[in-house]
Amino acid sequence: MFENATVTESGLKYVDHVVGTGESPRMDQQVTVHYTGKLASNDRKFDSSVDRGAPATFPMNGVIKGFSEGLSTMKVGGKRTIFIPSAIGYGPRGTGPIPPNADLIFELELIAII
């Protein structure tokens, strides 16, 4: 999936499926997003706003670095898959169902910038 991905300096990889329109979110803004998060090692889903049936709204600077970086160049209406290396994810501490040093994959849809 990430063979033709854009790779950032931090190691984040992304593939756009739909490019949205308008502005991209800034770190001082909030966003409303639909997302599904999976472990890159086994494709196991650990969280999904889609499954809950409601998008999530949060501040751009209130999530892991890789998540905000992946959203930072999206535009409203955009859909993207991102690969987050553990160094810009949860790192050696992990959290809940995410083990230490886990690389992550998120499917993102940017619904709104607030």
Half-sphere exposure of 46 (CA within 13 A, CB side): 18
If one counts the domains in the chain, the total is 1
55 assigned to some structural domain: yes
Q: Is the pLDDT of residue 47 over 90?
A: yes
Q: 81 with 106: CB under 8 angstroms?
A: yes
Confidence (pLDDT) at 55: 99
The pTM assigned to this predicted structure is 0.96
- Cα 41 to Cα 30: distance, rounded to the nearest angstrom: 30
CATH of residue 42's domain is 3.10.50.40
C-alpha to C-alpha distance for 104 and 114, rounded to whole angstroms: 26
Q: What is the pLDDT of residue 104?
A: 99
Render pLDDT for 50-107 as a digit per residue (tens, 0 to 9).
999 999 999 999 999 999 999 999 999 999 999 999 999 999 999 999 999 999 999 9
Q: Hunting for tokens 């502005």 — which residue is that?
A: 23
| pLDDT number for residue 6 | 98
Calculate the alpha carbon distances from 7 to 15, 28, 37, 67, 74 in Å: 9, 24, 19, 14, 14
> By residue range, what is the domain housing residue 56?
12-113
Q: Is residue 2 part of a domain?
A: no
Residue 1's pLDDT band, with cuts at 50, 70 and 90, is: confident
Q: Is residue 4 assigned to a domain? A: no
